[in-house]
Chains A and B, each alone.
Chain A
Amino acid sequence: MNVVVCAKLVPTGTPTLGPDHLVVRSGTDAALDPGDEYGLELALQLTEQHGGDVTVVSMGPDEAGQAIQRALAMGASRGVLVSDPSLRGADALVTARVLAAAIGMYPFDLVVAGVESTDGYTGTVPVTVAEILGIASVTAVRRLEPSDAGARIERMTERGYDVYECPLPAVVTVTAGSVEPRFPSLKGIMQAKQKPVDRPSLQDLGSRDLTATQTVTAVTDAPTKAGGEVVQGDEAVGRIVELLAEAKVI
């Protein structure tokens, strides 16, 4: 089973916004999104048990190469980095288009992504990728095994989990904590440097609408909540009733 894993580089500290109101992604401390390590681990376990290779795909600045190196050190066999200045500030839709085009260049039976990224957390990229590729998607997966129909998938719900039989290829997003991501060995880190990392250009990806289309015009801080009023003592009950009436709750 060949698996493509989507891996995003995210800032590790508190992200800062640049003059263009976009997150500063170059030259800051960043790492492979910890949420993506679960998907990667699941993919590695699958290919270790059932054969096949893991390819990691990332879109981002050159630094996203670090996220790919980490994934290669953990055991993925090939990296794919799409990096183009025109993609800076790409929204979730463009990100999904780019990733779908890149994934389409490689043979795959399964695409694995995180449920939502640690920095942008729209949680929409993976399902959009599935839509563009025209394949099924299952979110919040905690376990996956190959089956006659394709894959037997356990999907987390609020109460427990549902079991799906899903045809392959498909896109799945993996929940945190479902597997224990491995800690890469130093041997792995060294071997990672020898592994291939493809850097397809936007032309290679072949599709037209692959540039960031939105500009951020302004960013405002969320209003801080006012201090609130602490009511104490004997008058408290009366005051609370008053306040509730003011708020037209009673």
Chain B
Amino acid sequence: MAVLTVAVTLFWRRARSRLEVLRAARPAARTDHPGERARRELSHVLGQRKLFQKAAPGVMHAFIFWGFLVLLPTIVEAMLAAIDRHWTFPYLGHVAWFAFLQDLFATLVVVGVAIAFTIRKIQRPDRFRGSHMEEADRILLAILGIVTTLLLWNASRIALGIAGHPAAAPVADGLSGLFGAGRGTEVAERVLVWSHLLLVLGFLTYLPRSKHLHIITAAPNVYLATNHPRGYLEPLRIDLDSADADVRLGASVATDLSRKQVLDLFSCTECGRCQEVCPAWNTGKALSPKLLIMDLRDQVAKEAPLITAGAAGIVELQPLVPNAVADQVVWDCVTCGACVRECPVDIEHVDTIVDLRRNLVMAESRFPNEAGAMLRGVESSENPWGQSASARTDWTASVEDIRVLQPGDPPPEILFWVGCAGAFDERAQRTTQSIARLLTAAGVDYAILGPRERCTGDPARRMGHEYLFQMLAEANVEILNGAGVTKIVASCAHCFNTLANEYPDYGGAYEVVHHTELLSALVAEGRLRPDPAGGRGSVTYHDACYLGRHNGRYDAPREVLRAAGAAAVEMPRHGERSFCCGAGGARMWMEETEGTRINDTRFAEAEATGAETVATACPYCFVMLDDAAKAKGSAVRVADVATLLAESTLAEPGG
């Protein structure tokens, strides 16, 4: 009894400090749609869905996790038996099936631990670089100790004839041969039950300070994960007129983080799955999403006493950047979301990174110099290129009959949202022209906003300038609503994501489709008739993060390519596991000097498929991969899906 009290008290004392840090954090409104959250709990936690994204580690973890669940009642059973060896559960303690489950799952845990050690000691994958390896070993050994003492204890009970159904527990039964029936076994049985219990309780007190805390935090963390498409960012409302100078502008210190963000930190298991897929880490940048989370966690843990001391302590908190993470780390991220997708406990790295950026940009005005030109352009000319609004229609010069929606005009069936890249970038203009020609050929009733279109604000928002984004979003929504627009087709994956997922927060609810979706539908309806013998050769399609992983659009671009007569080959990393082109998260506007270039890395992967053409569906990807192709002097062509379709559909594709 005393042992139990001590262990529970110790556990509680340590866990409480974590709880108080959580309580001090900003509340996060993440309890809507309980049904969807519960379903995720079933699949991600009980079903271990994300863990099975990797086969052996998935099996390893599922064995240990399921074993842990099944063996929970055993702890109480052992406690009863520790007091008197004949005490047990009224019903469970006597049935054969429970004895069987115990025996089976304890064995599976042993197998799981064996797999874990094989992975860690023999395979040694790179994803563990920077993780606490000894701590993990200690935890695995403790788990192994807990289940082996359990198996041996059961074996000794079989030897003593206390256990009811020896045949139902073949492993323990087999082990019972180790024990005689005499006095020695009686002592051994006592020693085993107590070592089992002491190990369990010791483990409990160790938990709150270790990465193994995830066994408590993971389930709530998964429950609180966002229900939005992954490309969505939560708004940070800024009202300059009523705000005083102390308003929270993103995350500066630990207490600026939301409860979900803090729970994220306490949930990380250091498994490194995120690090393994991160384009920044893979190309030699300072950023690793795992190290970012660990470093933030360490600072929050270190400052826990200050945080819980209340107002007096909070003034002494150190800024998270550069104390926990360096400035460069924050700017290395392309917001591709690969880390979030991979993380088995639904940690949301991108939200935290953007919150750190928000503070650097809006409070400190501290960011890579070269990105200033983009912000300045967005601020004064309402596009990152700093071009005049009247130049937005320059691309229409070589395309006949483009309707520019004038104030007071009846709305078109579909508004073609050209986007800044599509309007101002010379190469992206070709895609815009192809789309326009295809829509005209299919007889679609569409129009563009022309000079009244503004940047959606995506680059400013991903850069952390929430206020600039908010102003642009409000202005665009006003124009769109004023024009009576109900359906939009966007050619840029970033515009698509912002219009579809983020504008509803600003009063703009439209049906938004990507041009590949619209084109694919037009082909299916027979309104566009590509020549299937168009001879497009072999094409490999590069999934844009903001179209694919962030919004689940994988099929439409591939269908269009197939219709255009292309023989599709896939890159090793495609679909949900596509590798970023390097332009997202406003990285398009920053220099990339460390390590190898992300676009070169991706282009090399595309080239290695042997495809003659790399197809893209976003102007950013197009420009990045085309740059990489040119830099390499490669014969492989980079072209948008729409351009390829135009070439096999239209007599005069132009462009």
Contact = CB atoms under 8 A, between A and B. Distances in A.
Interface of A: 12-13, 31, 180, 182-191, 194
Nearest to B465: A186
Contact of A182 (B240, B249, B365, B381): B365
Contacts of B363: 185-187
Contacts of B381: 12
8 contacts: A180-B372, A183-B367, A183-B372, A185-B365, A186-B238, A186-B467, A187-B364, A190-B244
B369 interface: yes
Contacts of A190: 240, 243-245, 247
Contacts of B249: 186-187
Interface string B270-305: 000000000000000000000000000000000000
B370 to A, nearest CB: 10
Most B CB within 10 A of own CB, among A183, A186, A188, A189: A186
A188 B365 CA distance: 9
A185 B369 contact: no
B596 interface: no
Nearest to B244: A190
A186 B362 contact: yes
A41 B423 CA distance: 33
A183 B372 CA distance: 7
Nearest to A190: B245
B361 A185 contact: yes
A209 B361 CA distance: 46
Contacts of A183: 365, 367, 372, 375-376
Contacts of B362: 185-187
Given A185-B361, A185-B363, 16 more contacts: A12-B380, A31-B380, A180-B369, A183-B375, A183-B376, A184-B365, A186-B238, A186-B240, A186-B249, A186-B467, A187-B245, A187-B249, A187-B362, A187-B364, A190-B243, A190-B245
Nearest to B381: A12
B388 interface: yes
Interface in B505-549: none
Interface in B353-401: 361-365, 367, 369, 372, 375-376, 380-381, 388
A12 B386 CA distance: 11
Interface string B216-243: 0000000000000000000000101001
A38 to B, nearest CB: 13
Nearest to B367: A183
B66 to A, nearest CB: 50
B615 to A, nearest CB: 37
A70 B152 CA distance: 76
A42 to B, nearest CB: 16
A194 B243 CA distance: 12
In this complex, the member of B243, B245, B367, B372 whose beta carbon has the largest number of chain A beta carbons within 10 angstroms is B245
B361 to A, nearest CB: 7
Contacts of A184: 365
A163 to B, nearest CB: 27
A190 B242 CA distance: 10
Closest 4 CB pairs of A and B: A185-B365, A186-B362, A187-B363, A190-B245
A13 B467 contact: no
A187 B361 CA distance: 10
A12 B376 CA distance: 13
Interface string B554-589: 000000000000000000000000000000000000
A73 B244 CA distance: 14
A187 B244 CA distance: 9
